[in-house]
Structure 1
Amino acid sequence: MHIIKLNAIDSTNSYLRALSTNVPLDDYTVVVAKHQTNGRGQMGTHWQSQDSKNLMVSVFKDVSFLDVDYHFYISIVVSLSIYDTLKSFNIKKLKVKWPNDILSEDKKIAGVLIENVIKQNQMQGSIIGFGINVNQKEFTNLPNASSLHLISGKLFDLDEVLHLVLSKMKYYFFLLKEGEFDILISTYQDHLFRKNKPSTFKNTEGVLFSGFIEGVSNSGNLQIRLEDDIIKEFDLKEVTLLY
């Protein structure tokens, strides 16, 4: 495993992607930054973080073994890796908010951004970015954000958290390579935020509607049970789960 540590960078994902265009990357090439000036999240959002308080990481993973139709399982692997890591540190009331935010006590403590490299409809590599709020104590204008420190009252060693996430990631990617899709998706769905609970959603037109989360499809679509027990699938661009 090759770990590159940086003091400051615009985005670890952008850095790793640029690096991959110049040299072939080894499996599990890791970039860690103390500070990001332009950290990116899902759907064009920005990841805010205080210097040297949190984990901001990107990992290159060879996923050429994976069929392109199962790309969402990369997200499942990363979500479970972070979930298990935080559980091992006794962080309580953990859930995975679809597709791959990690919550504790309904507050966001980790987010994931995955950028896959696909050539001729074949998976090649994946740049897996994740941020974990570790020792940060204040979040300005982010009422739904928290950190491991705020939840537990403890200070954490960033390297210890990082290496445990990477260890869990290797384990879950091993299961994925072995084709253990059922184990992975059932475990993921067991941890899904608001599963089988009445929830409020917003569609692309801004219209609110109610339903129950049933699970996710192999392609990563959220399966919602609507009125009259109709189950409809939505992708990430079509629906937002409101807190």
Structure 2
Amino acid sequence: MRFIWRIVSTILRLLFGLVRLFVWTVSLALILFFVGQWMTGGQLSQVPVSSYLTELPQRFLNNPTEIPTDLVTSQSDQRHRWDQNQALVYISTEDSTMVSAYRDAMRQWNQTGVFQFIETDDASLAQIEAGVYVDSQVSAAGETKSQTNLLTNRLNKAKVGLNAHYLSNPYYGYSYERVVNTAAHELGHAIGLDHTNEESVMQPAGSFYSIQARDIEVVRQLYQDQ
């Protein structure tokens, strides 16, 4: 009996040892993962959060006043935002009209006092890139793509684009004011705002509204706990 008990005891000790080894291995892996996230600023968990661009039916091409500013193809239940209510912006286009529109849109946002866009001429420092593209295959006047850290829900990078195919073509009837509104709309996406059907710069079509009191309040609430 003693011999059998020794065998059973040995087997149990081996099993407990294996369980402890497994627990320690998993714990160490988790610790290394989170340390890696901290050291890289969350780069390991970067995935596209949202892309505000999609194709629409041909009817929009036949009704230029209905061209959407953009469309949301994916949204997070929890709003993403920057760590602070400011961001460095690099304007990557040389189109003078679009450059002016971006600068006027940033100035309008800055005047609200709830968010500050700071222009930089160093692309490597920029958190937001503001550019121009030409695409007749999609019925949208602009797009915004962003990346976030999934652990913190904080934005890491954003890329804003204005579609010159519509905004620079007289056929579609965009005044300079509406081009600025489009730029302000896309910058709104870049700081974490979603579409709304209310009177707002974030309306998804037309670019008829500039920044409204509602937009200012939404941004204030989004960044109030910074």
Same fold (TM over 0.5): no
The structure with the greater share of residues assigned to helix is 2
Bigger relative contact order, structure 1 or 2 (CA pairs below 8 A, ≥6 apart) = 2
TM-score, with structure 1 as normaliser: 0.28
**What TM-score does the superposition give when structure 2 sets the normalisation length?**
0.29
